[in-house]
């Protein structure tokens, strides 16, 4: 478990305790600058120092290589690791984000790229991944690859590696990180969004993320 992941967990716990009260989450770490604690109040939890946008290449739902860092450069990028057979966390995150983006003007939604990385490549074929994401927003990018490549991507992003959990009847689930990392246009992840973040929270925060200008460190 990395120090940065611990900081993300702290921010997530504070957010859960202070729903809709961003200052508590934003002041979770003393490294947050005064400018970042100013008038802009996010519904997610600030991470300090911010997370560098990772470099990894996986395969998109069309079967083509997708260079994550290169293909998302200059966009607000929302990164989530999950799987299509997830019974709760993944569809809730995707539904809230899809609804929020549809309710925002193109000047905001066109600047946001959602990348969903499957943690279950055995079952999440490119066809299934594309069809599942299309239920929420056809612009969402779905990525898959070998188990080793996905694990490397998780480590590069600083999130815990997903683990298979056995269920009844020979089925299985995936225990995975239940938070979205938001990278702004400076290619740094300043804010994380745990489970429980609503559609209205995203509608509030996405325009702020698009317009964000982070202070020099």
Q: Which of 189, 62, 213 is nearest to 138 (CA)?
A: 62
The answer, yes or no, to whether residue 215 has pLDDT greater than 80, is no
Domain-wise residue ranges, the chain: 51-211
pLDDT tens by residue, 138-178: 999 999 999 999 999 999 999 999 999 887 777 899 999 89
pLDDT for 166: 83
CATH for the stretch 51-211: 3.40.30.10
CA dist 167 and 142 (Å) reads: 25
Report the share of the chain in percent with pLDDT over 70: 80
Phi first, then psi: what are they for 163, rounded to 5°? -125, 140
CA dist 211 and 162 (Å) reads: 32
Q: For the residues 78-105, what does the mean pLDDT come to?
A: 96
Question: Taking a C-beta distance cutoff of 8 angstroms, is the pair 206, 198 a contact?
Answer: no
Beta bridge partners of 113: 77
């Amino acid at each position: 478990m990395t120090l940065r992941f611990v900081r993300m967990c702290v921010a997530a716990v504070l957010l859960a305790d202070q729903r809709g009260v961003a200052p508590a989450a934003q002041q979770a770490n003393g490294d947050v600058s005064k400018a970042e604690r100013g008038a802009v109040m996010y519904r997610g939890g600030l991470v300090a120092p911010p997370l560098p946008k990772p470099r990894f290449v996986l395969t998109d739902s069309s079967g083509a290589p997708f260079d994550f860092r290169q293909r998302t450069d200059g966009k607000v990028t929302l990164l989530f690791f999950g799987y299509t057979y997830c019974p709760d966390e993944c569809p809730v995150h995707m539904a809230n984000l899809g609804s929020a983006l549809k309710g925002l003007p193109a000047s905001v939604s066109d600047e946001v790229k959602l990348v969903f990385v499957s943690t279950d490549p055995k079952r999440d074929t490119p066809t299934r991944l594309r069809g599942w994401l299309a239920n929420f927003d056809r612009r969402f990018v779905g990525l898959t690859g070998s188990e080793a490549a996905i694990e490397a991507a998780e480590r590069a992003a600083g999130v815990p590696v997903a683990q298979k959990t056995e269920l009844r009847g020979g089925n299985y689930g995936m225990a995975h990180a239940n938070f979205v990392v938001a990278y702004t246009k400076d290619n740094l992840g300043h804010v994380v969004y745990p489970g429980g973040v609503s559609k209205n929270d995203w509608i509030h925060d996405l325009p702020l993320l698009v317009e964000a200008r982070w202070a020099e460190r």
